[in-house]
Amino acid sequence: MEIVVCLKQVVDPELPSQEFAIDPASRRQVRAGKALVISTYDENALEVALQLKDAGAASAVTALTVAPAAEAKDAVRLALAMGADKAVVVDDPRAALLLGAEKAALLAAALRRIGSFDLVLTGCESADWVERVLAPLLAEALDASCVTFVSRVEAGTGRVTARRLADDGVHTVEARLPAVVSVTSDEGNRPRLPKIRDIMQAGKKPVETVPVAELTDLPAALRETGVEVREVVVPQRTTTCEFLEGEPAEQAAALVQRLRALKVV
Amino acid sequence: MPRILVVASALDGTLGRSALELLGGARALAGDGGAEVVAALLAPRMIDGAAETLGRHGAAWVVQVSDAALSVGQTDAALIAVEAVMTRVEPDVVLVAADTVGRELAPRLAFRRQAALVTEAMELRMDGPAILARRQVYGGRAMATLAVTKRPAVISVKPRSFDAPEPADAAGRTESLEVAIQAAGLKAVVTGVAAEAAEVGLEEAQIVISGGRGVGGAEGFKLLHTLAELLGGAVGSSRPPADEGWVPISWQIGQTGKTIRPNLYVAVGISGAAQHVAGVSGARTIVAINRDNQAPIFSLAHFGLVGDYRQIVPSLTAKLKELKST
């Protein structure tokens, strides 16, 4: 089984709020000078792929990303150091402006160009726009089966068994290959830390860069999205916190008094 | 007048709150201009009174598809059914709940119908010919307004974003639509459903006591549970305890996880990452208990208690018990 994992780089979502700003011109987060990381769940998706490879169920794992080529270097190096066999970078200077459907169009075209894959893994959502559309759109574009919010994947013959974390518990889903599966985190797919030796060897692994202009075979359904970002605003928090001081018993008494006054308890 | 199709998914055999919330969303979108609201009722079998309930809450027309394949988690089957209803109804807008099935369904439906797509909308209104959908972005740190000009448009709606419309007498018309769903043709099939020890009524609870990484382990959640029980509330968590396996995933509140709007939210050992805050910003009163007085949660909280929760939470429990007994 060959696996392709889609990775996205985002401004580190753990950065403190003071470092968060919206650029009014692009209506996107200010990226310049900020630390970029692989979007949270994308690393879990890569880990799931690598576990399938470790178990002998996958023959090759390819990391695929759409980004300005220079900006993608760190993410690509980390993915290769973690254990991906090769990387494909769709070099697109406008990548950070693309919404999910536009990104899905490019990724679908890139996957068709890669050609050989049985399973495509993505994160269940990106840490920035949280649209949760990539896996379902790719599944449609590639005529593949689709399962989202999956924490574990087991390989079978011509299919995978996915453990989907659902609103009402855990679903077991049998999906035919090819399949596109989005991955959420759990204790079993925590991303591995590469060893020094892995990091050294990552530099020798193949990285293919594809100029975005070469991807012309975009799915018709995703060409005109009909959606534009009109405004992005940071809501002003009006709450001011009243700190209740003292020993724990005094703090507790003060809180109960206030909650009773508000008729909350 | 635009026609809005609401996907009322009752795959577990009951018509849940989310369908009625979508009718609230349809009403918000219709605004003063009005709209014809149609509901697609998807269920494994006919459900007594469900079509009538949808009618009383604003659906002028209910198209029901009943088929054994329309069961829990079965997106592929639901997709075939909704496509059939779309062909029958020809809506301008389709509203889908952003739940386990809806999150898969909305993008796939949009792709198949070459429709515009917006997910996780929290507010909807018309602005001339454009639909304006507001949603959280950047882990809840910002709100984006998206203008949708293409039709049809498929929009998924984040749970708890709209109230169900007040019920009225006028029930709409109802019809059944036969849809051929070939179970053998489905590419992804749910073969098992394990209902987790879901914290009862986390989404409905008026009081939620929630723990984060600072709680330190499964053991610490017992203190939270005692307090929640005393208050008739529920226990929740931020992402780290769910990831670490201290609590079931179904307890998780936030962008990934549940969205809640309780009267009282007590955040214990929760730093206040945007990802978590996104799920609780609708809470009326927020109390934060944390050792770090610089924790971002305090910028959201109404009351802050800086200290060790192992001492503060039992003190709170004791104080409330004392009040109850007097």
- What does the pLDDT look like over A180-191, one tens digit per residue? 999 999 889 999
Any domain includes B149:
yes
Any domain includes B177:
yes
- Verify whether the Cβ–Cβ distance A130 to B120 is below 8 Å: yes
- Verify whether the Cβ–Cβ distance B108 to A173 is below 8 Å: no
Q: Do B117 and B240 share a structural domain?
A: no
Range of the domain at B181: 3-185
**Measured between beta carbons, which residues in chain A are less than 8 angstroms from residue B274?**
13, 17
Structure tokens at A153: 């994947």
Decide if B221 contacts B268 (C-beta within 8 A).
no
Between A13, A139, A239, which is nearest B300 by CB?
A239
Q: Do B128 and B28 share a structural domain?
A: yes
Any domain includes B67:
yes
Distance from CA of A256 to the nearest CA of B (A): 7
Q: Is the pLDDT of residue A239 over 80?
A: no
Distance from CA of B171 to the nearest CA of A (A): 31
- pLDDT for res B200: 59
- Residue A184, chain B, CB below 8 Å: the answer is yes
* Domain stops at, among B185, B220, B254: B185
Q: Do B171 and B26 share a structural domain?
A: yes
Strand partners, B286: B265
Q: Do B161 and B259 share a structural domain?
A: no
**Chain B residues 217-236 with CB within 8 Å of chain A:** 231
* Domain stops at, among B118, B151, B185: B185
- pLDDT for res B67: 97
Q: Do B274 and B217 share a structural domain?
A: yes
Q: Where are the beta strands (DSSP E) in A68-136?
A: 86-91, 119-123
Q: Do B216 and B96 share a structural domain?
A: no
Q: Do B217 and B70 share a structural domain?
A: no
What is the Cα–Cα distance from B244 to B296, expressed in whole angstroms? Answer: 22
**Measured between beta carbons, which residues in chain A are less than 8 angstroms from residue B282?**
none
Question: Average per-residue pLDDT in chain A?
Answer: 95
- Residue A252, chain B, CB below 8 Å: the answer is yes
- Verify whether the Cβ–Cβ distance A255 to B316 is below 8 Å: yes
Residues A189-213: b if buried by 16+ CB within 10 A, e if exposed: bebbebeeeeeeebeebebeebebe
- pLDDT for res A240: 86
CATH at residue B56: 3.40.50.620
Distance from CA of B51 to the nearest CA of A (A): 24
Q: Do B170 and B117 share a structural domain?
A: yes
Any domain includes B198:
no
- Residue A180, chain B, CB below 8 Å: the answer is no
- pLDDT for res A235: 82
Any domain includes B235:
yes
CATH at residue B240: 3.40.50.1220
* ∠ Cα B220 B224 B225 (to 5°): 110
Any domain includes B190:
no
**Measured between beta carbons, which residues in chain B are less than 8 angstroms from residue A225?**
116-117, 150
- Verify whether the Cβ–Cβ distance B315 to A248 is below 8 Å: yes
Half-sphere exposure of B153 (CA within 13 A, CB side): 29
Q: Do B168 and B65 share a structural domain?
A: yes
- pLDDT for res B197: 56
Q: Pick from A132, A160, A181 the residue to mutate for testing the B interface (most B CBs within 10 Å).
A: A132
What average pLDDT does the segment A80-89 reach? 98
The residue with tokens 């760190």 is A74
* Domain stops at, among B185, B216, B241: B185
Under-50 pLDDT residues of chain B: none
Any domain includes B201:
no
Decide if B77 contacts B69 (C-beta within 8 A).
yes
Q: Do B66 and B178 share a structural domain?
A: yes
Q: Do B44 and B175 share a structural domain?
A: yes
pTM recorded for the entire structure: 0.90
Q: Do B161 and B213 share a structural domain?
A: no
Any domain includes B191:
no
Domain total of chain B: 2
**ipTM reported for the complex, 2 dp:** 0.94
Decide if A172 contacts A184 (C-beta within 8 A).
no
